[in-house]
Structure 1
Amino acid sequence: MNFEFKNIEFRNFFDIDLNKYDKKAIKVSFISIAVMLLISIISTILIKLNFDGVTRINIFSILLSFHLSALKVKNMMVFSISTVKIGIIILLIIPVIVLSITNLFIYKREFDSIKECMYESFKIAFLYGMFLSVIAIFSRVKINMGIDAMFGFGYNNSTTIGYKLIYSFVNGFMIAFITSTILNWKKEFYGRYYFVDIVFSALKVFINLFVITLIITTIVSFTKNYTFSDFGLTTYSKGFGIVAYIAQIASYLMIILSGGSVEIGDKSDSLSIFSVFNKSIFMDTKLIIFIVFSIFALTMILIGSKIYKNYRYDNKKMILHFSVFYSFFISVISRFSAISISTSSIKSFSSFEIIAKSNPVLVFISAMILSMIFLNIGYKATEELEEYL
């Protein structure tokens, strides 16, 4: 693939015809939410049929859980507030597929410029996020379990469960914006602009590494499923749990192989490629981390070599640009794969946290530095080899 090193013109970014695409952004976001709501209703019915004792499930909560929104639990009896983030990364596939199909159905090949494409993606993301934030309001459920529930007086032992409004908006915005932008860029501008091509090159490498990591995780999980217990996750059971478990472990391995760290258990403990051999974890886990890291390093070295062979006379900054976009995709995985339960009590002024998460900003920085190092190794090695020969 040959890159065309064209610059994107961002001057007068908002100097576009706002009515050109009529109400297509509204249609995409509304139809996507409607389809997600239908999927949530079906999921609710299946849950009730397969789990005895589950009689009351909030459909809106199911919908927000597909977008990995943060759950807030407030107990008035003990004055405690808990925030639950269950970043089961596999669930994101559902809204991404729905948004992709809706985008393809509503928008044809009609974008004249990248700025128009990004503006429409921004509108879709904003509206989609707003829909989710409104749904978050209706997701709240209040449960009374104390003496006041029986006699109408006594202690207030009510528990309020609901999703955070701002968190729901941010998640919805990110999912819709990234999905819409990448999909429409691929459909309209791939092969025409360097900026777009380098994004998809980084995305392709990211997907390939994730698939390889997923295969390795699957093999290890079915042979020695105790190996990944170091990540603080219980072993899977059956059915969907197997898929969710493997995808979750693969996500954490992607963060680690890219130079990031995953916090396990409490904030004082973390697992990264730089500390893995100093930790008291299974030797099998250390071996798997070393293998996936070696694959990452070799991949980046080969890409660095390819950059030198094909583009050394055009733009060496491709190494930096590639690293930035690859690191962005890793940081997105970090953002959405966080699992944590944090609770604080006003009575005891104490808090605890059970976590398996990472800092997206630090992951971005670490991944960019590490990928640039290996890309430069491949670039320089090929340059030296060419001069020697």
Structure 2
Amino acid sequence: MDNNKYKYKNYFKEDGRSVQKIENNKYTLKKLENSTCVICNKENNKQSSYCKHCGNNLSEVEENNLIKNEIKDSKSLKHILKNINFKKASITSLCSILILFIVALIFKLLMGLQIREIGMLINPIHIVMGLNLGHIDISSSGMLGSGGISAHLGILVFLIAPILALTISNLLFMKKENTDAKSTLLNSIGVGLTYGLMLFVLSIFTKIKTSPFDMMQYQMSFEVSYRSLNMFFNGFIIAFLCTYLIGFKKSYEKDNIHLGIMKKAISTVFLGYVVVFLILTAITLSDKSYLYEFGMYGYTKDISTSLVLTQLASYMWGFANFIPLTISSYTISIFNLLGSDLFLNTKLIFIAMVVLSSLIILVVGCNLKRKYKDDKKNVVLIFSLYYALFMGIVALFSSILIGGNISSIQISNYQGAISLGLPLISTIIRSFLYSYIVAGIGYKLYVFE
């Protein structure tokens, strides 16, 4: 639609929307106290709105301070917190934690049957923290020395449990509260805050100090704890996104352009991940050799190939956004791919992922033009900001980092590190630039009638 032909009109004839977007609610007419016309200087009745001699308006336009104050108040933190239903949010979060606790009890029982020593060392709260991808610290001390290990096991498949728990709880307690776009957003924040706070409190009680049975004679002790702030941050993100996506309705996009574009950014990241996972699964069914070159073939000996693929899919989607992928000491990016020692077939897989991501984001850019063609805001920029944010969350959650040293019976000090994943800062910057350029091209290329 060509806005130039509506330059001198107030409304679109197709749907009646305002062309000029005049914000009349910010202003009001105030009757002048003096009934003398300022144009012809003749006297009028006090009740007159217009001069009976020359027709001049006897009112003045002033800014509506009441509405101005309401807008200011609506942006304050106090106003936001006041409009969150914390009672229902707390019930939803508590129910989710209880569901996870039941899952953890079952998991602990199964673990105890397989590995009795480990099953007795950990408690269900540790498992709940692990399912929310918490960062754990383990320190040891004894006659043979001391040391510590810091580990973040960002195995994405673990998120299935908290996602299902939050989904069930939201459908039971929060669905009726999300009546519009504003309430959905605010209640999502409420569930995120209460869920994160509960994990924060529980993480304080995960700190334990114990001595393994076979090491009592060496007078060794281990101290295990989860990082509380990390648990709050993880809990807020997981609960907020689950609640928001469950309560979001398509009609809300008309209320706030940011809500619709944010959902589109989340959907794009999720779609890319799923498509990459399906392609990797199809390739793996015919040939697993590429996993060896990725440095992940060894992991399939201890855990299922499907679990490895769910993790690898997130890394490959990041690589497809021009983000360097790190596997142990090996880092590969689009810039060193051709000069690497990888086989040609493996290089083609990487290149195919880049082409795939370009097509997906190009289509997103076209969709943004079709959907928001009459909006004056830079929708591509808004999309890229949200897209980069959620890609950063993927990088943060999917990283597997194990480092440090810990005393052992066989050797005085064991040193080693495992690093798998995408760098956080680089992921945010590169995914923003990549999506802004590619989506921008799609936006420019799309032609509508």
TM beyond 0.5: yes
Number of the residue aligned with 1:251: 314
Number of the residue aligned with 1:356: 420
> Contact 1:89–1:336 at 8 Å: present in 2 too?
yes
Deviation track 1:249-301 (CA, whole Å, cap 9, x = no partner) reads 101001111121222213xx422222222322343332111111101112222
How do 1:259-270 residues align onto structure 2 when only pairs under 5 Å count? 259-266=322-329, 269-270=330-331
How far residue 177 of structure 1 moved from its aligned partner, in angstroms, is 2.0
Number of the residue aligned with 1:123: 190
How do 1:122-161 residues align onto structure 2 when only pairs under 5 Å count? 122-144=189-211, 149-150=216-217, 156-161=219-224
In structure 1, how many angstroms separate the alpha carbons of the residues matched to 2:386 and 2:177?
A: 26
Deviation track 1:50-82 (CA, whole Å, cap 9, x = no partner) reads 457655142222111111111211011322111
In structure 1, how many angstroms separate the alpha carbons of the residues matched to 2:214 and 2:110?
A: 34
In structure 2, how many angstroms separate the alpha carbons of the residues matched to 1:75 and 1:20?
A: 44
Q: 1:113 to 1:259 in 2, by over 3 A?
A: same
For residue 90 of structure 1, the aligned residue among 152, 157, 174 is 157
Deviation track 1:318-362 (CA, whole Å, cap 9, x = no partner) reads 11112222222221111111011110579x999753201222222
CA RMSD, 1 decimal? 3.4
For residue 331 of structure 1, the aligned residue among 370, 392, 413 is 392
> Equivalent pairs: percent with the same residue?
25
How far residue 161 of structure 1 moved from its aligned partner, in angstroms, is 2.4
Number of the residue aligned with 1:61: 126
Number of the residue aligned with 1:322: 383
In structure 2, how many angstroms separate the alpha carbons of the residues matched to 1:20 and 1:292?
A: 42
SS in 1 for 2:387: helix
Deviation track 1:200-226 (CA, whole Å, cap 9, x = no partner) reads 222222222222101111112222223
SS in 2 for 1:82: strand
For residue 207 of structure 1, the aligned residue among 263, 270, 276 is 270
Q: 1:169 to 1:288 in 2, by over 3 A?
A: same
Structure 1: which 5+ residue stretches go unaligned?
none
| Pair 1:296-2:351 in alignment | no
How do 1:165-244 residues align onto structure 2 when only pairs under 5 Å count? 165-186=228-249, 189-233=252-296, 234-237=298-301, 241-244=304-307
| Pair 1:367-2:431 in alignment | yes
In structure 1, how many angstroms separate the alpha carbons of the residues matched to 2:322 and 2:388?
A: 10
> Contact 1:146–1:157 at 8 Å: present in 2 too?
no
In structure 1, how many angstroms separate the alpha carbons of the residues matched to 2:152 and 2:293?
A: 19
In structure 1, how many angstroms separate the alpha carbons of the residues matched to 2:313 and 2:283?
A: 11
How far residue 367 of structure 1 moved from its aligned partner, in angstroms, is 0.7
In structure 1, how many angstroms separate the alpha carbons of the residues matched to 2:214 and 2:301?
A: 38
SS in 1 for 2:332: strand
SS in 1 for 2:338: helix
In structure 2, how many angstroms separate the alpha carbons of the residues matched to 1:280 and 1:179?
A: 41
In structure 1, how many angstroms separate the alpha carbons of the residues matched to 2:201 and 2:119?
A: 25
Letter in 2 for 1:182: L
Number of the residue aligned with 2:339: 278
Q: 1:352 to 1:182 in 2, by over 3 A?
A: same
Letter in 2 for 1:370: Y
For residue 93 of structure 2, the aligned residue among 29, 33, 44 is 29
Q: Which has the higher contact order (CA 8 A, sep 6+)?
A: 1
User: Which sits farther off after the overlay, 26-35 or 170-179?
Assistant: 170-179
In structure 1, how many angstroms separate the alpha carbons of the residues matched to 2:388 and 2:86?
A: 35
Q: 1:43 to 1:209 in 2, by over 3 A?
A: same
| Pair 1:342-2:403 in alignment | yes
Letter in 1 for 2:125: F
In structure 2, how many angstroms separate the alpha carbons of the residues matched to 1:298 and 1:67?
A: 32
Deviation track 1:109-130 (CA, whole Å, cap 9, x = no partner) reads 4446645443333332222222
Letter in 2 for 1:218: T
Q: 1:129 to 1:294 in 2, by over 3 A?
A: same
User: Which sits farther off after the overlay, 27-36 or 276-285?
Assistant: 276-285
> Contact 2:104–2:125 at 8 Å: present in 1 too?
yes
User: Which sits farther off after the overlay, 370-379 or 185-194?
Assistant: 185-194
- CA radius of gyration, larger in: 2
Structure 2: which 5+ residue stretches go unaligned?
1-14, 24-70
SS in 2 for 1:260: coil
Q: 1:17 to 1:130 in 2, by over 3 A?
A: closer
| Pair 1:48-2:112 in alignment | yes
How far residue 87 of structure 1 moved from its aligned partner, in angstroms, is 0.9
SS in 1 for 2:382: helix
Q: 1:43 to 1:323 in 2, by over 3 A?
A: same
| Pair 1:377-2:444 in alignment | no
The count of corresponding residues between Structure 1 and Structure 2 is 374
